[in-house]
Amino acid sequence: MKEFIEHGLNQNRRKFLSKMGLGLGGLALGSLMIPGMFDVKNEDELFSNALPAFAPKAKRVIYLFQNGAPSQLDLFDYKPMLQKMQGEELPASVRMGQRLTGMTSNQAKFPLAGTVFQFAQYGNTGAWFSEILPHIASISDDLCIVRSMYTEAINHDPALTFFQTGAQVGNRPSMGSWISYGLGSENKNLPAFCVLLSKGKGNGQGVYSKLWSNGFLDSIHQGVQFTSGEEPVKYLTDPEFINRTDKRAMLDEISALNDEAYKNIGDPEIVTKIQQYELAYRMQMAVPEITSLQNEPESIIKMYGSDCLLPGTYAANCLLARKLSENGVRFVQLYHQGWDSHGNLPNEIAGQCKDVDQASAALIKDLKQRGLLDETLVIWGGEFGRTNYCQGKLTKENYGRDHHPRCFTIMMAGGGVKPGVFGETDEFGYNITKLPVHVHDFHATVLHLMGINHEKFTYKYQGRRFRLTDVAGNVVHDIIS
């Protein structure tokens, strides 16, 4: 069956390749007569054609974005001082008049709130983990934990947008689109940039398609939304009354007729069109094969937790992420909602961790046992941190935390980052005391790991050269192995 289809494809491919050949041949001839007719005007393109510029440490990225900002103080950044000073006022000397969100700016007091969770150290790196992340803690020796991230935005929308596009406002391409534009897709039958969405039980903040928008780049670099289950990609599944053979027959008709049109009108665009239809067809065959869970051994199911069988869950998306990544998707972006615990934090965060802990760890273990971890960069983190003082009513077992851009923690694994704990915050967990890492630095580092110099990686639009890192950003060499 596949063979027969493939055969048909080959024939077609040969056909329009020859077409293109003819077309290009003609054009090439033209370029001889008019010198420099086909110079690439845009040196950005020239640059991006020569990527990676140096030996990449990572070939692919899986970004597990924890949307809504998980509390670093209840997961990674252990601050006994807060428990000691439970309920006392945050010293002004520490806060230094930092701006607050509208939610707490009118709050009279800022009582410090220590975490209710038990912390312990794990692995050779001795990294601290809260009791609600047992699985992640168990692989701590594979993790690169940066406790000194900081950002500029103090509200979700701008902060998310900043993290994904390098700018708080405006219609910029997202990180994945940049990488798609720079490196393209390894597997020609899949998009280079895929997006997976899931929701936790906690307070959700929503995600926005502009977070995976191609901005001013060609829309081929737009993130394509995937889901596990019946229809992995929108419009991918044929209506039930059209089967493969049917479809093939249809496509052959369409190609033949478009071919004819090309003969009469001679517009090369028509040839591109034919190719796009073939590519679409190959995608229709590739995606179900790749996303199907049928041939996953039971022990894998058990590793991710049986939720991974339920389309749309975080676990299912982690498993799907591995499948897409190992099939050559450059950038897989997950979003998991529900971390925005302004109140009732202990219960909410516990629930969130229950959703993500096992699957996150499973994904890293799974990549590792396949020998893929060293070439795949896995990132885990939110858009900012949460305050060390309580928002709303502080009780012994219950409290809430407001947004805190001054310091927070993200984790990375594989892809050429060095396991260990990097950066430090003060004993109140309010300010960074060692190795501050700005969002731009983070972007610069990820690009560096992919073999791209973030300062040279530009795209000219409306007369201005844009960069993912805008005009800033330094590669953080300390975390690169």
Site for other proteins in 164-193 (CB under 8 A): 169-171, 186-189
Residue with tokens 């060390």: 388
Instruction: Rule CB under 8 A: say whether 369 interacts with other proteins.
Output: yes
DSSP string, 379-397: EEE-SSEEEEEEES---SS
Could you tell me the two tokens for 350? 């516990």
Q: What would the x/- binding string for other proteins be over residues 410 to 449, using CB under 8 A?
A: ----------------------------------------
Instruction: Rule CB under 8 A: say whether 107 interacts with other proteins.
Output: no
Q: For helices 439-449 and 175-183, what crossing angle results, to 10°?
A: 30
- Nearest C-alpha neighbor of 144 from the set 345, 419, 359: 419
- The correct pick among 83, 131, 157, 244 for binding other proteins (CB under 8 A) is 157
The residues near 297 (Cβ < 8 Å, ≥ 6 apart) are none
Identify residues 387-416 at the interface with other proteins (CB under 8 A): 393, 402-403
Q: For helices 345-369 and 314-326, what crossing angle results, to 10°?
A: 30
**Shortest Å, Cβ 426 to other proteins:** 22
Amino acid identity, position 262: Y
Choose one: 79-87, 264-272, 405-413, 421-429; the region binding other proteins (CB under 8 A). Answer: 264-272
Choose one: 78-86, 88-96, 112-120, 236-244; the region binding other proteins (CB under 8 A). Answer: 236-244
Amino acid identity, position 341: S
Instruction: Rule CB under 8 A: say whether 305 interacts with other proteins.
Output: yes
Instruction: Rule CB under 8 A: say whether 156 interacts with other proteins.
Output: yes
- The correct pick among 207, 318, 359, 413 for binding other proteins (CB under 8 A) is 207
Identify residues 43-72 at the interface with other proteins (CB under 8 A): 43, 46, 50-56
Could you tell me the two tokens for 95? 């806060």
- The correct pick among 14, 109, 370, 434 for binding other proteins (CB under 8 A) is 370
Which secondary-structure segment (H or E) carries 21? helix 2-33
Q: CA 389 to CA 110: how far, in whole Å?
A: 5
- The correct pick among 86, 125, 237, 431 for binding other proteins (CB under 8 A) is 237
Identify residues 110-149 at the interface with other proteins (CB under 8 A): none
**Shortest Å, Cβ 470 to other proteins:** 11
Q: CA 270 to CA 261: how far, in whole Å?
A: 8
* HSE-up (13 A, CA, CB side) for residue 327: 21
Residue 432: other Cβ atoms inside 10 A = 19
Instruction: Rule CB under 8 A: say whether 224 interacts with other proteins.
Output: yes
Choose one: 69-77, 84-92, 121-129, 285-293; the region binding other proteins (CB under 8 A). Answer: 285-293
The residues near 361 (Cβ < 8 Å, ≥ 6 apart) are 135, 136, 138, 139
Alpha helices, DSSP H only, in 128-243?
134-138, 156-165, 175-183
Residue 1: other Cβ atoms inside 10 A = 7
Size, binding site for other proteins by CB under 8 A: 143
Instruction: Rule CB under 8 A: say whether 277 interacts with other proteins.
Output: yes
CA distances from 375 to 138, 320, 326, 342, 365 (A): 21, 18, 10, 37, 14
Instruction: Rule CB under 8 A: say whether 284 interacts with other proteins.
Output: yes
- The correct pick among 45, 88, 141, 238 for binding other proteins (CB under 8 A) is 238
Q: Which residue number, 262 or 408, has a Cβ lying nearer to other proteins?
A: 262
Q: CA 366 to CA 220: how far, in whole Å?
A: 30
Q: What is the dihedral of CA 468, 472, 477, 480, to 10 degrees?
A: -20
- The correct pick among 93, 108, 219, 397 for binding other proteins (CB under 8 A) is 219
Instruction: Rule CB under 8 A: say whether 269 interacts with other proteins.
Output: yes
Q: Which residue number, 79 or 338, has a Cβ lying nearer to other proteins?
A: 338
Instruction: Rule CB under 8 A: say whether 32 interacts with other proteins.
Output: yes
Phi-psi region of 266 (alpha: psi -120 to 50; beta: other; left: phi over 0): left
- The correct pick among 286, 426, 427, 470 for binding other proteins (CB under 8 A) is 286
- The correct pick among 92, 93, 108, 239 for binding other proteins (CB under 8 A) is 239
Question: Sign of the CA dihedral 428, 431, 433, 435?
Answer: positive
Instruction: Rule CB under 8 A: say whether 272 interacts with other proteins.
Output: yes
Identify residues 315-334 at the interface with other proteins (CB under 8 A): 326-328
Choose one: 73-81, 86-94, 111-119, 205-213; the region binding other proteins (CB under 8 A). Answer: 205-213
Rg (CA), the chain: 25
Instruction: Rule CB under 8 A: say whether 455 interacts with other proteins.
Output: yes
**Shortest Å, Cβ 84 to other proteins:** 28
Q: Which residue number, 12 or 115, has a Cβ lying nearer to other proteins?
A: 12
